[in-house]
Structure formats: C-alpha cells, structure tokens
Structure 1
C-alpha cells in the first residue's frame, strides 16, 4: 500500500472516530436531558409542591431549561467524581496576585460615594456598616453592576441540584429560587446568576436573597439586579444580620516583631488590642490604635506569614468572611473600603514572591502535617490560617525560624 493511500485511510478512520464521538456525545446529552426531565417531575416537583410552590411557578421557572453540562464540578450519570478533578491541579497563586485590580474598585467606589451620598448615609444610619465597606463589596462582586452576569439561575441551580458534587446544597438553593418567584414576585427569566448560582449585583445565593435582600429605594421590591439602592442596602443588611459591630473598624495593618510568633494567628487566639500592643505590635506609619479599639478584642492575621503584610483585625473582619470565606477577600474589601473613605495608600508591607508549587503540593503538605497531629483545617490545598500557624508551630518545634507559610523546602520536608 502506498503512503498516500495509508494516509487517506488513516484520515478516514480519524473522521469516522470523530463522527462517532459526536454522535455518542449527542446521544449522551439526550439521555441526560431525559433523566433531568424525569428528576424534575418525579423528585423536585413533589418537594416544591410540599413547600407551597404552584405548578404555574414551577413550570415557568423550568420552561426551556436544559442541564448545562459545561458547568464545573458535575458528576455525570454512571461516573463517581467530577471530570474537573482529573485535570491538573491549579497553580498556587501568591497572595499578592489577589490585589492586582484593587485600584479599579477604589476609584469606582470613590466616584459612587459622592453620587450616592444620600442612599449611603441612610444605610449607615440604619445598619451601622461603613459606606466604604458596602461600596467595596459592590465593586468586588459585580464591578458596581457593570459585570456581565451570564447565566439563567434556574439552568445553573437545576443542573447543579441534579448533577453537582454538592447536590443537597443546590437542591435547597433551587427550592429557595422557586420561593423567590412564588412569594417575592421575582420573574424567573430576570434571575441572572454566575456559574455557581450567585445572583445579581451583590452575588447572593437564593437562600441569602430570601433572608437578607431588602428594599432600599422604597418601591416595595428588593431588586438586586437593577437597583443600586436595593443592592447596597441588601449588602449592609447581610453584614448587620451576621453580627457586624457598629462603631468598630475591620482591622489595621501592623508591624509584628520577631519576638511575636506568627503562629499566634487566628480568630480563636484573640487578645485585647491593648495586649497585642503590649507585646510590641504597632500600627504602621506611626499611627496609634483608636482609643476605643484598644479595649476590644483583636486577632493576628498574616495571610502570607512572614512574607507579606500583617494585620490586627477585629470581629468585623470575620463578618466580611461570612460574605466570602477567603481571608484575602475580607482583606481586599477592608483595605479597599479604607482607601475609598480615607484616601489611604497601598499596603506598607511588601508581598514577597512565593510560589513554584500547585494546590496539590499544598494538600500533600497538609496531609503530612495532619499525620504529625496538626489541625490544618482540612487538606484542601488552600493556605488558610490553620495551615499557616501549623507550619509555624512545626517550624518552631524543629528549630526553624517560623515563617508560617509554605516556602523554600517546607513543602518538600512535610510531604
């Protein structure tokens, strides 16, 4: 056989295999669509009906909705884990990367602080949350309402309640979304969400909408998609309902002497701010802690260990973490809020270059620490405060100057 004929035959086989794959994929999608429809009718609808959802609401919500198989963290029928788990672990991102775009939130927040002064004053008076914080969350979550919110919420929530790794959580969320339509008069097709089901300008899950969304402009509805006043009031109400302490700041950037171990970090190791000060911790730039804050409890927070800025934070920092559990998110919002309100500059402390590993490496290190008896908060590949202080405690125990962060040969030694 000639090379030309062999090449032609191989091309034909490749095309045939591709066609078979496309046909099989289409058949699989059709099968999942049929299973989805059966699940809606036999499983979700009876539960919705028990919760007082009408058939008109249910049918309107899922009209023309099909499962979106491109969403992440889905477990296909007959499979045991999401396909995304089979891909390479994401590269670790140094904490400094999180703050690259803070300038846009700060400048956008400053301009809107003037434009919406009356609304923000009313919100501060009612909820006790600083306008800077509310504006920073709004800017971070949706670019002050300019970010595209691309998905139909019922497509996302329905798909994830049917196929996601956390089906039960999304089942409750899709039922809450139906309640939004039934009892709060929200149009199903107006409910635009992220790929995770978070909705509108404040990025509320449906259960959060039902608990915390409020009418900020006085028209009788809580429209978190189009109303700026409703969005801002709902963010403030969320924080207030989670225990925001009126009159307290979120935290302060500080210098931490080497005599104070970075392993003292964490919300369960709080001291009066006056006691932290007695240990030698000082605000940066020669500023004093506000007198009323000295009597309150504060917590050491070092998101990059000794490789970045350090902070003494208040209970309000952890209310920001109720909005998003990331330490860096809460720090971003608090710092952006300060810059919006007071014109503060960037962090005084510098973020050093750390990295060269991925989340799989971090998870392996966490498992190594767990075997040694340390509580790292779970081997999830994320460097949270429990992981940071566990590293510091291990370093101290082994005669290493504690840095409380995976750098150098720490990961290699702990794997």
Structure 2
C-alpha cells in the first residue's frame, strides 16, 4: 500500500461508527474559487472513467453530486508545527485500552486469524496491531466519501496527478462491485476501510477471504484482516520472526554502529555485549538485526529485524513500525519497555539548522546549515558530545540544542 496519504491517527477525538452504517460527512459548500471549473473537471473525470470501463450509472452514483470539500483541502495543506518524539507517538497508540481491545479481538477472531496466518505466514498479532493503529479495530474508518475526497484533492490539491489516478481507480473498484458507493468511506486523503488502503493498494493487495466474490475491506473483517496479511507477505514478511527486541548496549559502545545501520546476527550482537533488556536470551540467535535508537542512548534501544522494515512499507515511519511491533507484543502478553523514555523533545527543520549553525561556529566542517543530519553532522555531534563529557550517541534533539546553546 502506498501510504503517502493516510488517516489522521485514531488518538484524536473520534466518533465510533458501526461497520456498514457509516454516516458520510457532508461536503462543504463550494468556494468561489471552485465555482467556475467543477463541471469541466467532472466531465474530464467521466471521460477517463468511461475509458476504463466505468458505467454512467456507477459514475453518477459516486460522482454526480461532486462538490470540492474545503475541509479536505485545508487538511492537505497543513504542515505540522512541531516534530513528534517516538515516546509521544508510541504512547498515543499503545495504551491499556488499545491493548485490551486487541486481546479481545484476538479471541473473537482467533479461528479466522489462524487461517489467515496459515495462508500468508503472518503472525495474527501483527495483523491486529496494524488494524488497531489504523482504525481502532474498525471503530473509526474515517467518515469521508472516498470518491469526493479524492476528487477534491485531484481538483484543487497538491499532487493532483497522483490523486486523480487514485480517483479513477476508486471508480473502478465500485464498478467491480466490491462495495456500494455509499459505503466507500475512509480518511480525508482517500485511505479506505479497516486497513486504510489507498485504491491502488486495494487493487494490488485486497483479497476476498470469505469467498463471496467481493473484496470488501469496509464491511468484512476477514477480508480486511487477510488483506493486511497479504500486503505484509507481498513485501517479504518472514514467518516465525518477530519485528525486534528491546536491548541494552554495553558501556563504551560505539554508536556509529547505530547510525551506519550495521547489520549482524543476534549471536554476533550478543558477542559484542548487546543483550536483551529483559535479561532473557535471544530465542533465534541466527536472525539478522540492526540497532534502532529513536531517542538516543539514554532511552530504549532496539535490535530490529527484517519484519520491522516490512511494517514500514505500510507506513514509512520508524515510530509507526515501533508502535505496531510493540502493540503486537503487548497483545501477546508482553510488558512495556524496560528503559524509560528520556525527557526530551524532537527538533523540526529550524531546530536542526540551529544545531548545525552552532557546530559551524565551533569550527566543525559540516557544510551548510540545511537541517539535514548527514554523516558529517552526526560525526561532529558525537565529537562535541565526547568533548563536553556527554554520552556520544550522536542523537540530535532538544536536549542537545540546549546543551550546545
């Protein structure tokens, strides 16, 4: 699934919707800027849809009363004011309620998940964790008419070509009869149903697990769960392997191994003094892993396996993959992180530029202060930290900026 556009996380205030009975958000009133061109835009969409085999009946049912939704355009143009730490991201998505709901769903859908795991080789808890984080186990799939949301973004948003292609694909899905126009709902950016697939991802990865001829990721939990499993398998999920382990690093550890993404077997990492944080042995010492340090050496550190990167194909975010993996572990019955999160803040581009400017003033030859933390900046940070008597972990954050200022 191409996750360029996706649902706002469920941690925001949401209203629960029953599956198959979702109330669509009403389209906002058309703004003056749109008034002249909507008719022409709809006509152009119809010509493209007709060429792809969409009937006039389906087109009119889905697109006939189209009006751009100003709220969608507003959301598409918003940029986050502050960066989010891994602690904040994971904490908002992995909590007692989510864990409890996940365990309940594990019991309720045990037979189905077992069959899906047998077919696709993906552990049920990984599927449950993605389902939980994406839509709160189907509790909130988004209240937006997918066709109208995509139409709005194709008409007046950025990346109009991309969303225009997704719009036509959504109409093809309706033409194939997988869902009725009134039930094709999702996020403001076009991500649909329980798994929050974009239409193009639906075409590639959605499956008809229940065998009724329809790939219904909106109303059928088995279809949705199996579609997540098929997606993960398609990107190389390794059966029997986990996503990663929380670890402890030995005194004097060279943090360059973290930033260079050194990959080694868990056996070799153990030989270098890297141990599981809970004191247990690695159950599969031959598995390959790299180290992931989301908030510096003073916070939790992880040895992540190949499945961690497969999860990132769902959403290309380290924090997302960590949240999914951790929620899966908690659903199984695992505990929280052993090491506490440090009291720190993440830096946006301007903050990273400030760090680089301070390094330049101290004589470090790192190029320009562009806000991109590359190898030269990282090496300079580690050198400065060592000289300042700090842990030389190379982590760029609010604490580092404060120490340097």
TM-score of the aligned structures, taking structure 1 as reference length = 0.80
Contact 2:120 2:229 in 1 (8 A): yes
Q: Cα RMSD over matched residues? A: 3.1
1:286 alignment partner, SS class: coil
Counterpart residue number, 1:48 = 49
Quote how far apart the aligned CAs of 1:282 are.
Answer: 0.5
Which structure has more RCO (C-alpha within 8 Å, separation ≥ 6)?
Answer: 2
Q: Map 1:212-291 to 2 at 5 A.
A: 212-265=205-258, 268-290=261-283
Tell me the distance in 1 between the aligned counterparts of 2:354 and 2:146: 38
Quote how far apart the aligned CAs of 1:74 are.
Answer: 7.4
Which has the larger Rg? 1
Tell me the distance in 2 between the aligned counterparts of 1:116 and 1:202: 16
Counterpart residue number, 1:393 = 379
Contact 2:248 2:275 in 1 (8 A): yes
Deviations 1:200-255 (A, max 9, x none): 11111111111111122232222111211111111111101111011211111100
1:168 corresponds to 2:161: yes
Q: 1:281 to 1:268 in 2, by over 3 A?
A: closer
Tell me the distance in 2 between the aligned counterparts of 1:209 and 1:323: 13
Select the residue among 94, 97, 109 that pairs with 2:88: 97
Counterpart residue number, 2:350 = 361
Counterpart residue number, 1:322 = 313
Select the residue among 339, 361, 385 that pairs with 2:330: 339
Counterpart residue number, 1:34 = 36
Counterpart residue number, 2:116 = 123
Q: 1:405 to 1:266 in 2, by over 3 A?
A: closer
Deviations 1:168-198 (A, max 9, x none): 2212211211111123442222111111211
Between 1:54-63 and 1:320-329, the stretch displaced more is 54-63
Quote how far apart the aligned CAs of 1:47 are.
Answer: 2.9
Counterpart residue number, 1:210 = 203
Which blocks of at least 5 consecutive residues in structure 2 are unaligned? 1-27
Counterpart residue number, 2:72 = 71
Between 1:263-272 and 1:329-338, the stretch displaced more is 263-272
Tell me the distance in 1 between the aligned counterparts of 2:355 and 2:226: 40
Select the residue among 341, 347, 369 that pairs with 1:351: 341
Contact 1:137 1:333 in 2 (8 A): yes
Counterpart residue number, 2:182 = 189
Aligned length, in residue pairs: 368
Quote how far apart the aligned CAs of 1:389 are.
Answer: 7.0
Contact 1:74 1:163 in 2 (8 A): no
Quote how far apart the aligned CAs of 1:373 are.
Answer: 5.5
Q: 1:47 to 1:367 in 2, by over 3 A?
A: farther
Q: 1:276 to 1:109 in 2, by over 3 A?
A: same
Contact 1:252 1:312 in 2 (8 A): yes
TM-score of the aligned structures, taking structure 2 as reference length = 0.81
1:265 alignment partner, SS class: helix
Contact 1:250 1:313 in 2 (8 A): yes
Deviations 1:355-410 (A, max 9, x none): 2x76243453588699965899x958xxxxxx497754222244534233333564
Q: 1:389 to 1:412 in 2, by over 3 A?
A: farther
Tell me the distance in 2 between the aligned counterparts of 1:323 and 1:27: 34
Quote how far apart the aligned CAs of 1:99 are.
Answer: 2.7
1:177 corresponds to 2:167: no
Which blocks of at least 5 consecutive residues in structure 1 are unaligned? 1-25, 76-81, 381-386
Tell me the distance in 2 between the aligned counterparts of 1:390 and 1:333: 32
